Amino acid sequence: MSYNIKNIKNENFKELNLIPREVKIKKKRKFNIPIIPITAFIIVLVFVLGFQAFSYKKLVSNFKGYFDSSNYAEANNYLVTEGNFNLFKALFLKNDLEGYFRTKANSIKEHVNLNELTPDEALLVMNEINRYNIITNSTDKSLSVTSDNITDNTPLAKGIIAFNKNNFEEALSIFNAIPSSDKNSGTALDYVVKCKEKIKESLLTTVKEKQSIEHFTEAINLIESKLSLLDNDKELASKVDELKKLREDYNKSNPSTSSAVESSAKIVSAINTENINTLGLQSSSNYLLYVDTNSQLTHIYKGSSNNWSLFKSLKCSTGKEGSETPSGVYTIKNRDTWFFSKKFNQGGKYWVQFDGDYLFHSLPFAEDQKTIVDYTLGEPASHGCIRLSLEDSKWLYDNIPTDTKLIIK
């Protein structure tokens, strides 16, 4: 007996028998894992990490070699320039250096105690360690014990202390005074080079600032004041020539400025206390100030053009060698009762500005505003400002109007 499929109304039956069998059976999907690429990636990763680990180990070893050989500049430069993309350097360098420096400090202590290392030599190494700011005397017993065994009475020690305080010119003077017969002369010569590099670096930074505001003469004077100190450095001498050309071009494009500069130069060259009333000097107030750096006196005049009378003369202290107060014609600008310079670790009271960072101010005070750190007057001793007694600086602050003319010779 046969059935006509079309006449079958049983939908369930139809569904069961007319749908192909292979459709009803769901096949399991197979996931093909890319084993070869993953394996290759793991191999490459292991190789890269292994190579970085090897490179890092070599970096630390080479650094220690430089440092142990007292090639401190090379050690620092190597550490800064090599392996900057090394993962192990980023993760482990600080801890590894800390361990190395602690061991080094203990070794120094032992050598000092056994008289196998001089205090100067020990101080030199300790200062190099401290420059990395990884361990300090306050956190490491070996450092503090070593420090107890080291005095700062020797010239080399004093020079290193000045260098670490960024007093590079003072340090240079100390190192230069150490004779070649001294057992530490080699170290002193190394520091002489470092001092000159630091002085030059700071000088060029300041000169760049002066150049950016077109203070070409100040920049030139600043470099020329340091040339002998820096052995007539060729780069600095070339910079002077460049600045002179820039000044010449600037003056050509600014005739009024050129005329004013020439006039100011003539005034500075000619002025003295005898001819004050023959130069046609004018001031925006009834005061005129004249600073004579030779006599270290600030003369205060009252009156008007060609009718100036000396009112008082104040003993002062202008810039010492290498930091000379700039000569020129200026006007009094801003003023305030206190400033503090972190660079020089001292401040001054009753300051009166006449050109940028150049001021009249009191004797230098410590940050507590109570302790006078230097009583010098009557001879060049400042960092470029014009130093007065506390009483005289307050008088100037209280009495000399803004825009009063000032001449420094």
What tokens appear for 305 in the block?
A: 């053009």
Residue burial 259-270, b: 16+ Cβ < 10 Å; e: rest: eebeebeebeee
14-18, 87-91, 187-191: segment of lowest average pLDDT = 14-18
Q: Are residues 127 and 158 in the same domain?
A: no
Rounded to an integer, the average pLDDT of 266-289 is 91
What domain range is 206 assigned to? 154-253
Q: Residue 290 maps to which CATH number?
A: 2.40.440.10
pLDDT band at 251; cut points 50, 70, 90: confident
The whole-angstrom separation of Cα 278 and Cα 169 is 41
Q: Per-residue confidence at 262, pLDDT binned at 50, 70, 90?
A: low
Q: Residue 199: its pLDDT value, please?
A: 93
Could you tell me the two tokens for 113? 């105690």
Which residue shows structure tokens 């059935």? Answer: 3
Both 144 and 162 in one domain: the answer is no
pLDDT over threshold 50, residue 98 = yes
Verify that 283 and 403 share a domain, yes or no.
yes
| Active-site residue set | 361, 385
365 vs 31: which has the higher pLDDT: 365
Confidence of residue 145 (pLDDT cuts 50, 70, 90): very low
pTM summary value: 0.42
Is residue 221 exposed (0-12), middle (13-18) or buried (19+ Cβ within 10 Å)? middle
* Structural domain contains residue 377: yes
Measure the CA–CA gap between 261 and 248, rounded to whole angstroms. Answer: 11
Q: Is residue 338 part of a domain?
A: yes
- The answer as to whether 9 is a domain residue is no
Predicted local confidence at residue 385, as pLDDT: 95
Does residue 227 fall inside a structural domain?
yes
The DSSP string of 56-119 is HHHHHHHHHHHHHTT-HHHHHHHHHHS-TT-HHHHHHHHHHHHHHHHHHHHHHHHHHHTTSS-H
Q: What pLDDT score does 257 carry?
A: 54
Task: Look at the chain and report how many structural domains it folds into.
Answer: 3
pLDDT at 151 (0 to 100): 52
Mean pLDDT of 295-319: 96
Residues 286 and 393 in one domain: yes
- Going by pLDDT thresholds of 50, 70 and 90, the confidence category of residue 130 is confident
Judgement on whether residues 210 and 166 belong to the same structural domain of the protein: yes
Mean pLDDT of 193-218: 89
Residue count of the chain, please give it: 409
- For every residue of 258-306, DSSP letters joined together read HHHHHHHHHHHHH--SSSTTSS----SSSEEEEEETTTTEEEEEEEETT
Among the listed ranges 41-45, 99-103, 144-148, 382-386, which one has the minimum average pLDDT value? 144-148
Task: Give the pLDDT band (50/70/90) at residue 26.
Answer: low
- The 3-state DSSP class for residue 343 equals coil
Asked if the structure places residue 4 within a domain, the reply is: no
| DSSP SS3 for 231 | coil
CATH at 241: 1.25.40
Q: Which of 43-52, 119-128, 194-203, 296-305 tops mean pLDDT?
A: 296-305
